[in-house]
Structure 1
Amino acid sequence: MNITKENVDALNAILKVDIVAEDYKDKVTEVLNDYRKKANIPGFRKGNVPMGMVRKQYGKSVMIDEVNKLLQEGLNKFLVEEKLDILGNPLPVVKDDFSWDTDKFSFEFELGLAPEFDVDVKGKNKITEYKIVATDDLIDKEVENIQNRYGKLITLEEGEEHANVTGTFVNEEEGINKKSTFLVNDLKGKKNEKKFIGAKVGDVIELETKKLFEEDYKLSQALGVTKEVADELDEKVTFTIEEISKTEPADLDQELFGKLFPDGSVTTVTELKEKIKQDAEGQFQQQADQQLLNAVTEHFIENTKFELPAEFLQKWLQTAGEQELSEDEAKEEYTKSEKGLRYQLIEGKIMKDNDIKLEYAELLDYTKGFIKAQMAQFGNMNPEEEELNNIAGRVLSNKDEAQRLQSQLISQKLLSFFKENMEFKTKEVSYEDFIKEVYK
């Protein structure tokens, strides 16, 4: 077997594979001898069927199988030995005059070659690294939420601005009959709020569904209808008040601190606020890191220029999936996936140039940490090492799950590398301002 490569250009090549009878005839004979030993043909004892009959019946199909095996093995070996960095898979070139009725075969395959390029990691950039801080207002609101969660519910004689009201919404024509509870100040507009302030148990209040709540999603919950129905609903409903109550906030005392932190790590309001600040900023950091990684990704895609073998990749996409795509469908798919492909190549180049590797032991430890965190949520704080190893092994045996965890760990490694080697413009913002700037 002889394999040669001819470069069409920097991104495309043709592989030519020539196979002659000497390459496959011994293997074909071996397979046919095995067939002869096992063949059950009327008129002949098992193992005594004439080879000529076996060859006539099975020879061509066996030869085709062996040539295809030889072809695949030869291609894979050539690509590895020549260290060819290809995109997609080799595409066979269809020859109209090809025939299996010969003992010499010539095959051709199109290759899409990965481009050569450099990535400027330490060059100038305008990427912002956000430091999200927990503001005093956010901390005070969380303290208030804690006090309300651990507070005491007291019954009121009449409605007021921050009261909880329980009752039943009714509209017979729309089939609405739903008991609900909501805060008076969740209602949209002073007009609606005034209807409940001073109202008492047994009062029947008429309301318009349109813009009834400050948050639109609360209407579907209150009326017991789907979001789609709630969005289109513009009807009058009655609400019969059955109960009025109010949460009396818990005192910020040792009893509350003990409930929140049984280990005694928080004993004062100052310590509570510091704990809230740390937890909030820890969560914010995850979002800031993801935003930074996204920004760096976009930076490299925009500033790392190279060509791709687009025509080859579109042709390859036509047959790469479970369902064959038309030429137009493949072009559309390529357009959608080109950006992701470019970053895959850039990411691979950065990892290769900077010796960033992912060992299986690292992936196993990362998976075990992920499992341990999940188990802690269900009260298992100290699982046995053997148990963690067994669960992690099962998780990583799932190809999709292993790929997902591997991708997460690679992103963490790259993020650490970027932080150590790239210069960013640092900006300190509140969470609200971060959302406005990043997701505007």
Structure 2
Amino acid sequence: MNITRENIDALNAVVKVDIAKEDYSDKVEKILADYRKSANIPGFRKGHVPMTMVKKQYGKAVLVDEVNKLLQDALNKYLTEEKLDVLGNPLPKAQDDLDWDADSFTFEFELGLAPQFEVELKGKKPITHFNIVADDKMIDGQVEHIRKQYGKLVSQDAVTKESEVTGVFVNEEKEINNKATFTLDKIKSKTAEKSLIGAKVGDVVTLKTKDLFNDDHDLMSFLKVAHDDAHELDVDVTFTVEEVNIRELADLDQELFDKLFGKDVVSSVTELKTKIKEDSEKQFGQQGDQKFLNDVTEYLVENTKFDLPATFLQKWMQTAGEDPLDADQAKEEYENSEKSMRYQLIEGKLIEKYKLQVTFDDLKDFAKEMIKVQMAQFGQMDPQDKELEDIAARILSNKDEVRRLSEQLMSQKLLELYKKEANLKVKEISYDDFVKEFYS
């Protein structure tokens, strides 16, 4: 067997594999001999079928199968030994004139080669890492929300600004008929608010859906309309009042603190606010990190210049998925995924350059921390280490879970690398301002 490579350019190559008769003949003869021992052909005793007949019936199929196996093994070995960093998979060149009756065969494969490039994490312009803080306004709002959530409902005679109202929205034309509960602070329309205030159980109020709520998306939950309809809905609905309540706020006492956090974890309003701040900022930290990770990714893709074997990759994409694509579909798929492919190559370069790796011990510790967080959500605050070890062992016996956790852990390692090596500046921002600036 002989394998040669012709480099078309820096990103494309053709590998030629020459297979001679001596490369496959012994294997084919052995398989056919085994077939002869077990072949059942009318007119011949088992094991006494003439080899000429066995070859006539099975020879071509065995030959094709063995040559293909030999070809794939040789190609994979060659790519490994030559340390060729290929994109996608080798693409066999069409051979309409291949003669399987010949003694030797030649196959050609197109290769898309990974580009050579360097990655520089420290850019001239700093990337902002937002430190999202829970300010006093937000903490006070959370305390108020907790008191409402754990308070008790008290029936009212008529709707007031502080009321929690339950009733049925109806519009026959739009097939709206939905029971909902809401507070009047959700209402945007002053006309609608005026119509609702003073209403009693059994009253029917007509409301306009346009600008009814502060957030049009509330129409989806309160009227059960589709997302697209919610933004353009401009009809009259009737609202039949079924209940009017006011929520009496819960006392900030030890009973409430224990219900929220476990016995004696929090014992004062000051400690409650501290706990809310700590828990909130822990969650905010994840959002700040994700924003930073997205910004670094964008920076790296925009500022790390290299070419890709675009023509090869589009050709490869035509047959790489479950469903074949035509040329136009493959081009569109390539354009949609090009940025992701570029970042994967950059990420791989960084992992190699900074020698980042995920060990089994890393994975086990990561899994145990994840399990502890999940158990804490169900009130198990101090699980035994053996219990954690046993659960982690079950998780890590699943290959899909190992792959998923490995990806998450490597993402964490890359995030820490970016925080250490990238040119960044830290900016403190309240959660409300963070949401307004990036998600409004």
Q: Provide the C-alpha distance between the structure 2 equivalents of 1:225 and 1:141, rounded to a whole number of angstroms.
A: 30
Alpha-carbon offset, residue 351 of structure 1: 0.5
User: Are 1:27 and 2:30 matched, yes or no?
Assistant: no
3-state SS of paired residue (1:17): strand
Deviation at 1:11, TM superposition (A): 1.0
- Structure 1 residues 147, 240: closer, same or farther in 2, change over 3 A? same
- Alignment size in residue pairs: 437
Distance 1:51 1:21 in 2: 19
Residue 199 of structure 2 is aligned to residue 199 of structure 1 = yes
Aligned AA (2:399): S
Look up the match of 1:281. Answer: 281
Q: Distance in 1 between matches of 2:113 and 2:165?
A: 68
Query: Hey, what's the Cα distance between the residues in 1 that align with 2:85 and 2:139?
Result: 53
Alpha-carbon distance in 2 for matches of 1:259, 1:15? 69
1:137 aligns to 2:140 (yes or no): no
Partner of 2:399: 397
Kindly provide the CA deviation profile for residues 53-76 of structure 1, in whole angstroms up to 9, marking residues without a partner as x.
222222222122111111111111
Q: Deviations over 1:267-289 (max 9, x none)?
A: 22222111111111111000000
With the length of structure 1 as denominator, give the TM-score of the two structures: 0.92
Please give the TM-score of this superposition, normalised by the length of structure 2: 0.92
On the 8 A contact 2:121/2:423 being kept in 1, the answer is no
Q: Structure 1 residues 375 and 268, CA, compared in 2 at 3 Å: closer, same or farther?
A: closer
Letter matched to residue 189 of structure 1? S
Change (3 A) 1:431 1:14: same
Q: Rate the CA distance shift 1:437–1:188 in 2: closer, same or farther, 3 A.
A: closer
Q: Which residue of 2 aligns with 1:88?
A: 88
Q: Which runs of 5+ in 2 are unaligned?
A: none
- Corresponding residue for residue 264 of structure 1: 264
SS class of match (2:394): helix
Render the CA deviation track for 1:123-159: whole Å, top value 9, x for unaligned: 4333111111111111111111111122232233332
- Aligned equivalent of 2:316: 316
Contact 1:371 1:392 in 2 (8 A): no
Q: Give the C-alpha shift of residue 436 in structure 1.
A: 2.9
Partner SS, residue 216 of structure 1: coil
CA distance in 2, matches of 1:121, 1:228: 42
Distance verdict in 2 for CA 1:385–1:208, change over 3 Å: closer
Which digits, 9 at most, give the CA deviation of each residue in 1:351-374, with x for residues without a partner? 001110122342344334334433
Aligned to 1:344: 344
Q: For residue 366 of structure 2, what is the aligned residue in structure 1?
A: 366
Task: State the Cα distance separating 1:21 from its structure 2 match.
Answer: 0.8
1:148–1:249 contact (8 Å) kept in structure 2:
yes
CA RMSD of superposed structures (Å): 2.3
Following the alignment from structure 2 to structure 1, what is the Cα–Cα distance between the partners of residues 65 and 227?
Answer: 59
Structure 1 residues 13-412: aligned runs within 5 Å: 13-171=13-171, 176-227=176-227, 233-380=233-380, 382=383, 384-385=387-388, 387-394=390-397, 396-398=398-400, 401-412=401-412
Percent same amino acid at aligned positions?
58
Q: Give SS of 2:266's match.
A: coil
Query: 2:14 is aligned with what amino acid?
Result: I
* Cα contact 2:396–2:402 (8 A) shared by 1: no
Range moving further from structure 2, 425-434 or 251-260: 251-260
Identify if the C-alpha distance between structure 1 residues 168 and 59 changes in structure 2 by more than 3 Å, giving closer, same or farther. Answer: closer
| 1:408 alignment partner AA | Q
- d(CA) in 2 for partners of 1:121, 1:198: 63
Q: Is the 8 A contact 1:368 1:392 kept in 2?
A: no
Cα shift at 1:176: 4.9
Q: Render the CA deviation track for 1:179-221: whole Å, top value 9, x for unaligned.
A: 4332123222222222233333444333223332223233343
Provide the rounded CA distance (Å) in 1 between the counterparts of 2:338 and 2:412: 23
More deviation in 184-193 or 276-285?
184-193
